[in-house]
Amino acid sequence: MEFKEQTACSLFRLFEQGEISAVEIIKNFREFQGQRDKDLKAFVKTSWKRAEKKARALDEKRKRGEDLPPLSAVPIAIKDNIARLRETMTCSSNFLKGFFPGYSATVVEKLEEAGALIIGRTNMDEMAMGSTTETSVYHPTRNPHNLGKTPGGSSGGSAAAVGGGIVPVALGSETGGSVRQPASFCGNYGLRPTYGRISRFGLAAYASSLDQIGLFARDPDDLWRVFGVLAGKDKKDSTTVSGKGLERKGEAFDPEEIRVAFPREYMELVEDGEVEKRTFEVVEKLEKAGIKVEEISLTDPKKALGVYSVIATAEASSNLARFDGLRFGKGIEGEKNWEELIKKNREVGFGQEVKNRILLGTLFLSSQYREKFYDRAVQVRKEITQELDQLFCNFDLILSPATPMPAFNLGSRIESSLEKIMSDIMAIPGSLAGLPAISLPMGLNSEGLPLGLQLMAPRWKEGRLIDFSQFIREITGYREELKYFSEGGSE
Amino acid sequence: MMEKEFKTIIGLEIHLQLKTLSKMFCSCSTEFAAPANTNTCPVCLGWPGTLPSVNQKAVLFGLKGALALNCRINRESGFDRKNYFYPDLPKGFQITQYARPLGFEGFFTLGEKNIGIRRVHLEEDAGRTIYNQGNGEIDFNRAGIPLVEIVTEPDIESPGEARDFLKDLRLLILYLGISDCSMEEGSFRCDANISLKGEEEKISQNQVELKNLNSFQAIFRALEYEEKRQKKALLDGEEIKGETRGWDEKEGKTFLLREKGKKEDYRYFPEPDLPDLILRQDLIGSVAEDIPEPPMQREKRWQEEWGIGKEETGVLISDKAKADYFEKAANFASPKEVAKWIKEHLYAHVFPLEIPPEYLSEIIKMVEEGDLSFPQGKEVLKETLETGRKPGEIIDDKGWKQISNQEYIEELIEEIIENNPGVVQDYLAGKEKAIQNLMGKGMKKSEGQANPQTLRSLLEERLKGREEDG
């Protein structure tokens, strides 16, 4: 039996039934990670000792015949912007090297209570700003399906860890498309839950009104299981919402009841022939299976991208103001004047991409430009949200490619920020509207790179995304084209 | 030549620290004078990943303040971020209410005049920078303490009026119980804007903002100084520059802190980590019901309805506990007498007293009605305060109850006259002092319980009758 090929659900079952021990699981995964991550560089820190200790406790628990929580013995990786007690949280930034937050994010507490084995922290673009994981202060992460390609970003480390078979499940975070885009590039299922569904407490903020913790897995059922653990109102995050049930029909799901909207403006953004072709193939297969797919028109996502750039950078300029190097993080020595001190700390601490975004956001909020940019963006965001909400009166899901192109070469898009952002574009309108969305495997292209499909659903309908993803997997077989465990991957 | 006349225009900004147990957006204690940086947590230190959660109590306190200042209430208000860098501002922004304050368009009645209240809003305090030999040391205990900011309209016309307004406002806030209002501890802080306007001019001169005024005296003197300074400058044909000035207590002068050339751009925007603050009507109603009668109104009522003098009401009103205690005690005895007793005999006590107000009124009433002598009354009060025993019990133990019963005293007098013919003779012979002797005999016979005033007047009456008979 190959441990690493198991899903989170099957690992749990094997553990529960006593066929494997949690310690064995950790040992096996550790070994594989040790080899595989040499190439992928998905991790910035591993915590095997802690995981092993927890595994031993779980084995004891099982022996005593106690109830086992739903993620018992499941290895999980978390993005480096999610706080965990007794661990550093660096957001892959020079600023936070060696920073111990001293508390755990709500999601981490929930994972730990659910018996998950957190095995390490994954690489990311600095402060979650980027789409390739190349703005990380450590190193770029590589795509498990082709080491010369980017895994995407900003949650590239988590996507590569799951896509490379190192863990069955990982947490990431999304502001624009930082889960769905890398999930698509690495052949994963990537879920962005509804805004307010999962607590952001302990997630280092990029843009508060957009940030949401997301999940990666190789199987829709795994996503659902972890999602179920993480979802819910948290009194430490006032934007979380209570009373919204978790609903998944599962066996009772009837795909023929689903009305799918297929926006042509999204297709017009596709930069790659194979992405286009595959998407139409999916549509064809759905129609053959009796699903109504209707081509419709929506606001051009490029407009949403503009709105997003203003709001995200504006909020970031404020959220990142706390990084002054005085209370935490790296600060320089010997400067007496506080203004100079803060300036120098920020100069040395942040990378260029972060600085660019802070400057832009500061400009957008300044009294001179606020009305023209920030206020206008907030207004258009409302319009985009209303348009999507309205569309969902007549449709159950919106289908599009997850990205306009497959993973591109590492280093190829560093120079052009806008072009990089374009890889996120399909995700942006849903992020602005706070809607749940998923990216799911759409097979491989002729180069052997994963392609991804995106589904968006009305608020709180994550269950529908999971059910329909499962259905697509069954009727297309695209997921089965992916090989997650091959070592190396060709360049 | 007539001297040019100027009108003084003053507006005030008051910051109150709210008397909540925990901070505005985290659960740290708000205790004053705790060792530096001990009342802090990742949230109020602004560590990455932390989020604010609104202290409900602070919202209710703010609402109470806004209602007591007759404000209109924004039923849907919310928080904004005010962005600026300063070492004692942990997040690099202050969470405040900018676009939608809790209350607006209120007023405060000062004597016969209403001072407009522009807005009342909630915000969080910053940390405190302590300068030590040229180095700034920061105590973040204060960071995140809930504040209410009250901004008046520029309706105040003199330094004296500013001081009176602040004194009355402070008293009102103390009555509301939402702040300790301690100027020394910084829980009541005031900035003042002052400008002058020529009688015939339409617009006033540039505003000067006075900061760090930490006593009523300082506020008054600084405004007075500034009023004179600006007037002189204007008469000399100078222009008043918009600037921020501090107050030098020793020199008795204001001094330039900074010029208000370029306005700082705070890049306000709605706080995305907090949902809108929705206040239900029933909640507003229940907070409104909880607002006590304003002290100024109460004082006036005492004067008008009970005829109590200004001196007494002034003493009583300045302390809500005292005022409440007085009002209760006044239900059982003459309010005037109660007021007098509290002012004269209980000025050193902390209110509410340990004894129920009924005890106090019982003693006062007995003295008033002659059942106890005044020194006895004071003694009983002292003892009940010390022991908490009922005044009646103490009086019984001491056997002090005075007897004013006329029949009893008349019988007593007959007995003394009969037993002391010599002394009576002396008195009748014109030896006025002899009556003291008879009084003493009477008091002794009654074991001190006879009311001395009654005894004396009846005795005199009786002896005079004899004189005439004789």
Inter-chain contact A236–B53, Cβ cutoff 8 Å? Answer: yes
Cα A370 from chain centre: 30
Spatial separation of the C-alpha atoms in residues A125 and A139, rounded to whole Å: 10
Angle at A234 between CA A229 and CA A239, to 5 degrees: 115
Kindly list the residues from chain A whose CB atom is less than 8 angstroms away from the CB atom of residue B40: none
Q: Which residues of B138-159 are buried (b: 16+ CB within 10 A; e: fewer)?
A: bbbbbbbbbbbbbbbbbbbeeb
Calculate how close chain B gets to A54, using CA atoms only, in Å.
25
Report the pLDDT value the prediction gives residue A415, as an integer from 0 to 100.
56
Residues of A forming the active site = 79, 154, 178
Asked if B327 and B444 sit in the same domain, the reply is no
Q: Is pLDDT of A113 > 90?
A: yes
Inter-chain contact B53–A318, Cβ cutoff 8 Å? Answer: no
Q: What range defines the domain where residue B236 resides?
A: 6-283
Q: Is residue B226 part of a domain?
A: yes
> What number is the average pLDDT over the span A332-338?
87
Spatial separation of the C-alpha atoms in residues B118 and A268, rounded to whole Å: 53
Spatial separation of the C-alpha atoms in residues B413 and B458, rounded to whole Å: 8
Asked if B157 and B277 sit in the same domain, the reply is yes
Calculate how close chain A gets to B353, using CA atoms only, in Å.
42
Calculate how close chain A gets to B89, using CA atoms only, in Å.
8
Q: Is residue B189 part of a domain?
A: yes
Q: What range defines the domain where residue A462 resides?
A: 1-491
For residue B348, the one-letter residue type is: A
Asked if B322 and B440 sit in the same domain, the reply is no
What number of other Cβ atoms are within 10 A of residue B344's Cβ?
10
The structural domain count of chain B equals 3
Q: Is residue B1 part of a domain?
A: no
Asked if B388 and B418 sit in the same domain, the reply is no
Kindly list the residues from chain A whose CB atom is less than 8 angstroms away from the CB atom of residue B140: 327
- Decide if A105 contacts A203 (C-beta within 8 A): yes
Asked if B333 and B428 sit in the same domain, the reply is no
- The tens digit of pLDDT for each residue in A426-471 reads 999 999 999 999 999 999 999 999 999 999 999 999 999 999 999 9
For residue A84 the two structure tokens come to 């965990």
Taking CA–CA distances from B90, the nearest residue in chain A reads A322
For residue B469, the one-letter residue type is: D
> What number is the average pLDDT over the span A59-75?
97
Inter-chain contact A322–B91, Cβ cutoff 8 Å? Answer: yes
- Decide if A427 contacts A180 (C-beta within 8 A): yes
Inter-chain contact A322–B90, Cβ cutoff 8 Å? Answer: yes
Contacts of A49 (CB under 8 A, 6+ apart): none
Inter-chain contact B51–A200, Cβ cutoff 8 Å? Answer: yes
Q: What are the two backbone dihedrals, phi and then psi, of residue B443, each rounded to the nearest 5 degrees? A: -65, -40
CATH of the domain at A328: 3.90.1300.10
- The tens digit of pLDDT for each residue in A11-61 reads 999 999 999 999 999 999 999 999 999 999 999 999 999 999 999 999 999
Report the pLDDT value the prediction gives residue B412, as an integer from 0 to 100.
85
Report the pLDDT value the prediction gives residue A414, as an integer from 0 to 100.
64
For residue B306 the two structure tokens come to 């009970």
Spatial separation of the C-alpha atoms in residues A235 and A437, rounded to whole Å: 25
Spatial separation of the C-alpha atoms in residues B376 and B395, rounded to whole Å: 9
- Decide if A350 contacts A316 (C-beta within 8 A): no
Q: Is pLDDT of A104 > 90?
A: yes
- The tens digit of pLDDT for each residue in B106-123 reads 999 998 999 999 999 999
Q: Under DSSP, is residue B390 helix (H, G, I), strand (E, B) or coil?
A: coil
Spatial separation of the C-alpha atoms in residues B198 and B196, rounded to whole Å: 7
- Decide if B241 contacts B234 (C-beta within 8 A): no
The overall longest dimension of chain A from CA atoms, in Å, is: 72
- The tens digit of pLDDT for each residue in A171-193 reads 999 999 999 999 999 999 999 99
Q: Under DSSP, is residue B330 helix (H, G, I), strand (E, B) or coil?
A: coil
Task: Name the β-bridge partners of B95.
Answer: B81
Q: Is pLDDT of B191 > 90?
A: yes
| Nearest residue to A171 via CA among A221, A225, A124, A213 | A213
Kindly state the helix (H) or strand (E) to which residue A190 belongs, with its residue range: strand A189-192
Chain B residues within 8 angstroms (CB to CB) of chain A: 42, 45-54, 81, 83, 85, 87, 90-93, 136, 138, 140, 265, 267, 269, 272-275
Q: Is pLDDT of B1 > 60?
A: no
For residue B388 the two structure tokens come to 């908490």
Residue in B49, B92, B267 closest to A202 by CB: B49
For residue A114 the two structure tokens come to 């659910």
Report the pLDDT value the prediction gives residue B132, as an integer from 0 to 100.
85
Kindly list the residues from chain A whose CB atom is less than 8 angstroms away from the CB atom of residue B265: 366-367
- Hey, is the C-beta of A88 within 8 angstroms of any chain B C-beta? no
Kindly list the residues from chain B whose CB atom is less than 8 angstroms away from the CB atom of residue A366: 265, 267
Asked if B21 and B77 sit in the same domain, the reply is yes
CA distances from A82 to A87, A101, A107 (A): 10, 10, 8
Which of B283, B311, B330 represents a domain boundary (last residue)? Answer: B283
- Decide if A195 contacts A170 (C-beta within 8 A): no
Q: Is residue B288 part of a domain?
A: no
Report the pLDDT value the prediction gives residue B271, as an integer from 0 to 100.
98
Spatial separation of the C-alpha atoms in residues B302 and B335, rounded to whole Å: 9
What percent of chain A has a predicted confidence (pLDDT) above 70?
A: 97
Inter-chain contact A238–B273, Cβ cutoff 8 Å? Answer: yes
Spatial separation of the C-alpha atoms in residues A231 and A142, rounded to whole Å: 30
CA distances from B57 to A269, A432, B370 (A): 51, 33, 51
Contacts of B201 (CB under 8 A, 6+ apart): none
**CB interface of A with B, residues 261-290, below 8 Å:** none
Angle at B398 between CA B378 and CA B408, to 5 degrees: 100
- Decide if A96 contacts A103 (C-beta within 8 A): no
Task: Taking each helix axis as running N to C, give the angle between helix A22-40 and helix A48-63, from 0 to 180 degrees, rounded to the nearest 10.
Answer: 160
What number of other Cβ atoms are within 10 A of residue B234's Cβ?
17
Asked if B143 and B201 sit in the same domain, the reply is yes
Asked if B37 and B155 sit in the same domain, the reply is yes
Spatial separation of the C-alpha atoms in residues B184 and B197, rounded to whole Å: 33
Spatial separation of the C-alpha atoms in residues B468 and B458, rounded to whole Å: 15
The overall longest dimension of chain B from CA atoms, in Å, is: 106
Kindly list the residues from chain B whose CB atom is less than 8 angstroms away from the CB atom of residue A80: none
Report the pLDDT value the prediction gives residue A488, as an integer from 0 to 100.
53
Chain B interface, mutation test: which of A127, A311, A327, A375, most B Cβ atoms within 10 Å? Answer: A327
Chain B interface, mutation test: which of A318, A340, A360, A369, most B Cβ atoms within 10 Å? Answer: A318
* pLDDT band per the 50, 70, 90 thresholds, residue B3: low
CA distances from A131 to A127, A174, A424, B7, B335 (A): 12, 11, 7, 63, 78
Q: Is residue B243 part of a domain?
A: yes
Give the residue, A237 or B264, on which the prediction is more confident.
A237
Taking CA–CA distances from B263, the nearest residue in chain A reads A367
Q: Is pLDDT of A418 > 80?
A: no
> What number is the average pLDDT over the span A87-97?
97
Kindly state the helix (H) or strand (E) to which residue B465 belongs, with its residue range: helix B452-469
Spatial separation of the C-alpha atoms in residues B328 and B319, rounded to whole Å: 14
- Decide if B140 contacts B47 (C-beta within 8 A): no
The structural domain count of chain A equals 1
What percent of chain B has a predicted confidence (pLDDT) above 90?
A: 69
Q: Is A10 exposed, middle or buried (0-12, 13-18, 19+ CB in 10 A)?
A: middle
For residue B328 the two structure tokens come to 């209760």
* pLDDT band per the 50, 70, 90 thresholds, residue B470: very low
Calculate how close chain A gets to B90, using CA atoms only, in Å.
6
Q: Mean pLDDT in chain A?
A: 95
Inter-chain contact B48–A91, Cβ cutoff 8 Å? Answer: yes
- The tens digit of pLDDT for each residue in B224-251 reads 999 999 999 999 988 888 899 999 999 9
Place of tokens 């190396």: A488
Q: Which residues of A366-382 are buried (b: 16+ CB within 10 A; e: fewer)?
A: beeebeebbebbbebbe
Q: Is residue B274 part of a domain?
A: yes
- The tens digit of pLDDT for each residue in B320-362 reads 999 999 999 999 899 999 999 999 999 889 999 999 999 999 9
- Decide if A436 contacts A194 (C-beta within 8 A): yes
Give first-to-last CA distance, chain A, whole Å: 29
Asked if B20 and B51 sit in the same domain, the reply is yes
Place of tokens 């309706």: B155
CA distances from A428 to A179, A306, B102 (A): 12, 10, 34
Residue in B54, B91, B140 closest to A321 by CB: B91
Task: Name the β-bridge partners of B122.
Answer: B148
Q: Return the minimum-mean-pLDDT range out of A95-99, A379-383, B440-444.
A: B440-444
CATH of the domain at B455: 1.10.10.410
Q: Is residue B191 part of a domain?
A: yes
**Going edge to edge, which strands form the sheet with A117-122?**
A43-46, A117-122, A75-79, A169-174, A212-217, A189-192, A437-444, A450-456, A397-401, A259-263, A292-296
| Nearest residue to A450 via CA among A21, A116, A163, A22 | A163
- Hey, is the C-beta of A339 within 8 angstroms of any chain B C-beta? yes
Spatial separation of the C-alpha atoms in residues A105 and A83, rounded to whole Å: 5
Place of tokens 């009250």: B150
* pLDDT band per the 50, 70, 90 thresholds, residue A130: very high
Spatial separation of the C-alpha atoms in residues B211 and B223, rounded to whole Å: 11
Cα A429 from chain centre: 16
